[in-house]
Chain A
Amino acid sequence: MEPDSLPAADLERLFRENYAAVFRAAYRITGNATDAEDALQTVFLRLLKRDPGADPVENFSSFLHRAAVNAALDVVRARHHIKNVPLDDLEPVLAEPAQHRPDRLQDAGEIREWLRGAVARLNPRVAQMFILRFFEGKDNPEIARLLNTTPGTVAVTLSRTRDKLEKEFRSSLGGVS
């Protein structure tokens, strides 16, 4: 189906069927309703303005969910003024803004915000996997299907990502990696 030729009724249906899922996915990543609303708007605007020559969308729910994750990550990145870094180049302690380092974190809210920032710095595809797995609670085969990859790749990537994030967290807390 070509989004640029979406009949109005289909657009309405897509919005009605998916706005809550898109909003809630974005809310988990951004942590506040205003940013989630921005992400919701961004997702459907991108859908409306999608390149007519782009591949047709087979599963709009998956498409919109991935779009929500990406839009929300963009918001968090903007909030933390950070850029993506490849997983292999992750130098978390150095990259982390001083005020967000874990050794300065005192309560759960700040740890959540730190985690959101750390995830947003990951490679976007890796961040999507992490979010789908840990924030959304989806299993590896489902993630693989959503991201068009294999469950084995998902498992390996998630394992490396989790180790990296944990290492970053502990390293900053204790000064030893």
Chain B
Amino acid sequence: MNPDNDRMDPALERAVAEIRDDKIPDAVVDAAAARVWARLSQSTVSPSEHIRSCPDFQSLIPDFRAGRLLEARALLLQDHLHECVACRRVFEGRVVAMPAAAERPARRENYSARWAIAATVVLTGGLVVWFAIVQSGPHAGRAMIQAVNGTLYAVSPDGLRVMKAGEDLPDGVEIRTALDSVATLALRDGSTVEMRERSGFSTSESGNEITVHLDRGSVIVQAAKRRSGHFYVATADCHVAVTGTIFSVTAGVKGSRVSVLEGEVHVNHDNEDKVLHPGEQTSTNETVDPVSLKEDLGWTHNTALQNQVAKLQTKLAGVPLPKPRYSSRLLGLLPASTSFFASIPNLAEYLGHAQAVFRGQAADSPELRDWLSGPGSAVEPVLDKLRAANEYLGDEIVVFGSPNAKGPVFLAEVKRDGLADFLKRQGLPLAFATRPGLVLFSPSPKALATPLDSSFQTAGFYKQIAQAYQDGAGLLVCADLARLGPHPGSPGMRYLIAGQKQVAGHTETRAAVSFDGPRTGIAAWLAPPSPLGTLDYISSESTFVAAFAVKNPGAILQEATTTLHVPALAADQALPSLGGELALALDGPAFPVPSWKLVVEVYDPARFQSAVLQAVAQHNADAAAQGGKPLRTGQETADGRTDYFIAATDPNPLTEAHYTFSNGYLIAAPTRALLTAALQVKASGGGIRHAPAFLALIPHDHYENFSAVVFQNLGSTLAPLAGLLAALQPPRAGQGRQMPQLDNLKPFLLAAYGEPDRITIASNGDVPGMSLNNFLSGGLVGIAANGLRLGQFAGTSGARLSSR
């Protein structure tokens, strides 16, 4: 290959030769050229010369009658006259044509421009005809297969037939991508359809309308702009109508999901029409949860689309919340029976955002979930409608209710007359009541009978909410949990105060549960905020850390030994030796041996080691009785440091743990090298708490310490792992770019603070669904998993999560 006879590395030689010899079918090149030319033609024609509406067509009629109209335009006009009665009447002289729209600039008698335009139109028409001839020779179908990566089948009663790039797709023939295969189809109107693996559809055409019948799987459609007619995607349970947009549709067993990247999409499901805009998503079944755009469209092999998805995600995530509010006139008016309270800034985006916060908090509180699915079930749909009515209302919309009320009551100041008429036009079955300067509405007329007597101001719940306002309120969701209905899973819990606000340019999410008296049960495990000395052994390069201060280390130890399936330590020996701090981290490469690190506060190392040896002896005795393999233990002293290990019988770095004791802490890791590194981190003072990525995510509040903190920055760790896993897998066309996307996980920090009668968790991020429940239930794995789960919100906007 090398013209200079200087051979390169054979692998590079092969790669160069493969690139040079990679041939692409002529049909694919021609189809791409046709699309590019169509787009170029739009660029060469002045926008003022586009024919957009009936007045535009009618303005061409005089020239058409005089035979002066260019052939291409004459054809368009004739076609339009066939289908438009109004224009036909004008053409036939039965109606006088109205002048063109006002915004259309008056035609200038610029003959040179006209000739240039005329030339362009002729050229466009000529090339379109030329491409049509080129295309229509060997290809007679509605769509052509542009590219196949893997295997694409045509499904017929006779069986499956492999289809290749450049082939036509006749109407009504179902095509299906195989496992690990993707395919792209180019439709005659310039639209493209990218099929994910295991997806199948067929096409049909009626008049000017093309329908893609998606039988299964996922497609991403880039619908071309159309002069007339529509492009439809039909699944078993919804109908999607578009023109000039980019969107994805997934048809699954549970239902369908539609996500929009660009333009406007109309989704019809159960005779309800929903309009989606960029970043929005809907599904036909409530059991199909919304996912981020990155998840829904990230499988595309189209680089431009991938970039577009990333840009949209960034844009959505960057929408700032309104400035915090420090008082509320509406709060002071409420009745004493109030046990649910929400305050939403009256901006269209945040009314949508509020739904996401509602759902997130409902997932964490059984009491709130019960209320929102019962008496409060109307909250979300009404909020959705209020997005269109926000100009009538004041800066804040309050929703309040009580267990005995028939429904939630919405309260707002009136900024402009006409709200009642507007809501009637929207077809909302709401009852209204007005007070001076105020409006109340509710699905239940009886709920409106609740007096606004300001009696709430004497309630403890009011004081909790008022305190939240004093700290600055953005979105607030508050509940008097005890009055909404006691729940056996959360004894003693009283108030939930949750919300999001903008602090120093960052979105901060915070939720607090307070108790009637001191915390009890599992919720009492979390210790008050403390310095968390365990973090001193975690390096600034660590990509995942979960550190806790607990009041009851024995309970945690018991759960850890159960969860991790390691020998249970003798409680009477081990417990007195334990302090209350614990940290678990991934502090180095994740492969081939995960660089885990465990740091536990141990007051009495000798006693703890004795308990460990006793536990191992017990385990080995049990193993011998059951025919199992014993564990190995040992120790080694070097440079004044004693290292211990515990390992499975068969040497395997994945089943070894080395540990040592230092300054009142036990440090454990899979290798001695990591132990040494941990001690060096401590000696150098350069631990995770000084890492810029960690510091940047710490929530702004009055606490100096944490009771618990979960931090993940796994992107850099998962990137090489993803690359290696991808390399170890056989080529998978359908997921070829999925693995590398693991490196896009968004860094995240969750902080928890335990106070005598409350637990607060906070995150300096856009996390509407913080799982407070995991902290309250004390699940060790749950807490750790919480950080990982929250990481999946990467790139998901809280501002416009879903319009479902």
Binding site for B on A (CB under 8 A): 7-9, 11-12, 15-16, 19-20, 23-24, 27-28, 31-38, 40-41, 44-45, 48, 75, 78-79, 97-100, 104-112, 114-116, 133-137, 139-140, 155, 158-159, 162, 165-166, 169-170
CA distance A31 to B28 in the complex (A): 14
CA distance A164 to B355 in the complex (A): 56
B419-459 near A? 1/0 per residue, CB < 8 Å: 00000000000000000000000000000000000000000
B37 and A108 contacting across the interface, CB-CB below 8 Å: no
B131 to chain A: closest residue by CB: A16
Closest Cβ–Cβ distance, residue B322 to chain A (whole Å): 34
CA distance A105 to B9 in the complex (A): 14
**B19 contact set on A, CB distance < 8 A:** 28, 31, 112, 115-116, 135
A11 and B6 contacting across the interface, CB-CB below 8 Å: no
B14 at the interface (CB under 8 A from A): yes
A104 and B16 contacting across the interface, CB-CB below 8 Å: no
B3 at the interface (CB under 8 A from A): yes
Closest Cβ–Cβ distance, residue A177 to chain B (whole Å): 13
CA distance A110 to B724 in the complex (A): 12
Selected interface stretch from B119-127, B362-370, B523-531, B652-660: B119-127
**B33 contact set on A, CB distance < 8 A:** 15, 19-20, 23, 40
B28 and A33 contacting across the interface, CB-CB below 8 Å: yes
CB contact between A99 and one of B12, B40, B743 (< 8 Å): that residue: B743
Query: What are 20 A-B residue pairs whose CB atoms fall within 8 Å in the complex?
Result: A9-B119, A28-B20, A32-B147, A33-B24, A34-B302, A36-B32, A40-B36, A45-B43, A75-B303, A98-B720, A99-B740, A104-B727, A105-B727, A106-B728, A108-B14, A133-B3, A134-B16, A139-B3, A159-B6, A166-B12
B36 and A37 contacting across the interface, CB-CB below 8 Å: yes
**A109 contact set on B, CB distance < 8 A:** 731
**B32 contact set on A, CB distance < 8 A:** 23, 33, 36-37, 40
B43 and A11 contacting across the interface, CB-CB below 8 Å: no
Closest Cβ–Cβ distance, residue B120 to chain A (whole Å): 5
A139 to chain B: closest residue by CB: B3
CA distance A106 to B719 in the complex (A): 16
A8 and B120 contacting across the interface, CB-CB below 8 Å: yes
**B146 contact set on A, CB distance < 8 A:** 33
Given known A-B contacts A15-B37, A111-B14, A134-B1, A162 and B722 have beta carbons under 8 A apart? no
CB contact between A19 and one of B11, B29, B43, B722 (< 8 Å): that residue: B29
A48 and B43 contacting across the interface, CB-CB below 8 Å: yes
CB contact between A137 and one of B11, B20, B127, B724 (< 8 Å): that residue: B20
B571 at the interface (CB under 8 A from A): no
Closest Cβ–Cβ distance, residue B336 to chain A (whole Å): 58
A30 to chain B: closest residue by CB: B303
CB contact between B39 and one of A24, A41, A107 (< 8 Å): that residue: A41
B235 at the interface (CB under 8 A from A): no
B216-228 near A? 1/0 per residue, CB < 8 Å: 0000000000000
B727 and A110 contacting across the interface, CB-CB below 8 Å: yes
A106 and B22 contacting across the interface, CB-CB below 8 Å: no
B93-126 near A? 1/0 per residue, CB < 8 Å: 0000000000000000000000010011011001
B43 and A111 contacting across the interface, CB-CB below 8 Å: no
CA distance A106 to B18 in the complex (A): 16
CA distance A64 to B184 in the complex (A): 27
A10 to chain B: closest residue by CB: B123
B15 at the interface (CB under 8 A from A): yes
B304 at the interface (CB under 8 A from A): yes
A166 and B9 contacting across the interface, CB-CB below 8 Å: yes
B804 at the interface (CB under 8 A from A): no
Q: A31-B19, A169-B11 are in contact. List 4 more A-B contacts (CB 8 A).
A: A20-B26, A34-B147, A40-B33, A44-B40
Given known A-B contacts A107-B731, A135-B16, A38 and B123 have beta carbons under 8 A apart? no
B739 to chain A: closest residue by CB: A99
B127 and A15 contacting across the interface, CB-CB below 8 Å: yes
B4 at the interface (CB under 8 A from A): yes
B23 to chain A: closest residue by CB: A24
CB contact between B123 and one of A9, A24, A158, A166 (< 8 Å): that residue: A9
With a 10 A CB-CB cut-off, give which of B11, B18, B120 has the most chain A CB atoms: B11
CA distance A139 to B2 in the complex (A): 11
**A166 contact set on B, CB distance < 8 A:** 8-9, 12
CA distance A44 to B716 in the complex (A): 39
CA distance A160 to B584 in the complex (A): 49
B122 to chain A: closest residue by CB: A8
Binding site secondary structure of chain A: helix
CB contact between B723 and one of A7, A104, A107 (< 8 Å): that residue: A104
B720 and A104 contacting across the interface, CB-CB below 8 Å: yes
B36 and A20 contacting across the interface, CB-CB below 8 Å: no
B716 to chain A: closest residue by CB: A98
Closest Cβ–Cβ distance, residue B651 to chain A (whole Å): 26
**A100 contact set on B, CB distance < 8 A:** 723
CA distance A33 to B15 in the complex (A): 18
**B39 contact set on A, CB distance < 8 A:** 41
A15 to chain B: closest residue by CB: B37
**B130 contact set on A, CB distance < 8 A:** 16
CB contact between A8 and one of B8, B26, B123, B722 (< 8 Å): that residue: B123
**B662 contact set on A, CB distance < 8 A:** none
B44 at the interface (CB under 8 A from A): yes
CA distance A23 to B37 in the complex (A): 13
B139 at the interface (CB under 8 A from A): no
B12 and A111 contacting across the interface, CB-CB below 8 Å: yes
Q: Which 9 A-B pairs have the closest CB atoms?
A: A99-B723, A106-B727, A8-B119, A8-B123, A37-B32, A19-B33, A111-B15, A41-B36, A104-B723
**B722 contact set on A, CB distance < 8 A:** 99
B800 at the interface (CB under 8 A from A): no
B307 at the interface (CB under 8 A from A): yes
B11 and A111 contacting across the interface, CB-CB below 8 Å: yes
A34 and B123 contacting across the interface, CB-CB below 8 Å: no
B147 to chain A: closest residue by CB: A33
CA distance A155 to B5 in the complex (A): 12
Closest Cβ–Cβ distance, residue A23 to chain B (whole Å): 5
**B597 contact set on A, CB distance < 8 A:** none
Closest Cβ–Cβ distance, residue B34 to chain A (whole Å): 9
Closest Cβ–Cβ distance, residue B362 to chain A (whole Å): 39
A79 and B303 contacting across the interface, CB-CB below 8 Å: yes
B196 at the interface (CB under 8 A from A): no
**B24 contact set on A, CB distance < 8 A:** 23-24, 27, 33, 36
CA distance A78 to B710 in the complex (A): 34
Closest Cβ–Cβ distance, residue B27 to chain A (whole Å): 11
CB contact between A104 and one of B12, B123, B126, B724 (< 8 Å): that residue: B724
Closest Cβ–Cβ distance, residue A108 to chain B (whole Å): 6
B18 and A112 contacting across the interface, CB-CB below 8 Å: yes
**A135 contact set on B, CB distance < 8 A:** 16, 19-20
Closest Cβ–Cβ distance, residue A60 to chain B (whole Å): 16
B301 at the interface (CB under 8 A from A): yes
Closest Cβ–Cβ distance, residue A115 to chain B (whole Å): 5
A12 and B9 contacting across the interface, CB-CB below 8 Å: no
CA distance A158 to B40 in the complex (A): 36
A99 and B719 contacting across the interface, CB-CB below 8 Å: yes
CA distance A40 to B38 in the complex (A): 12
A104 to chain B: closest residue by CB: B723
CA distance A33 to B29 in the complex (A): 8
Closest Cβ–Cβ distance, residue B75 to chain A (whole Å): 18
**B122 contact set on A, CB distance < 8 A:** 8
B742-767 near A? 1/0 per residue, CB < 8 Å: 01000000000000000000000000
B121 to chain A: closest residue by CB: A8
**B37 contact set on A, CB distance < 8 A:** 15, 19
Given known A-B contacts A38-B304, A75-B303, A112 and B728 have beta carbons under 8 A apart? no
**A20 contact set on B, CB distance < 8 A:** 26, 29, 33
Closest Cβ–Cβ distance, residue A175 to chain B (whole Å): 15
B406 at the interface (CB under 8 A from A): no
Closest Cβ–Cβ distance, residue A25 to chain B (whole Å): 11
B35 at the interface (CB under 8 A from A): yes
A11 and B727 contacting across the interface, CB-CB below 8 Å: no
Given known A-B contacts A8-B120, A99-B720, A110-B727, A78 and B22 have beta carbons under 8 A apart? no
Closest Cβ–Cβ distance, residue A6 to chain B (whole Å): 10
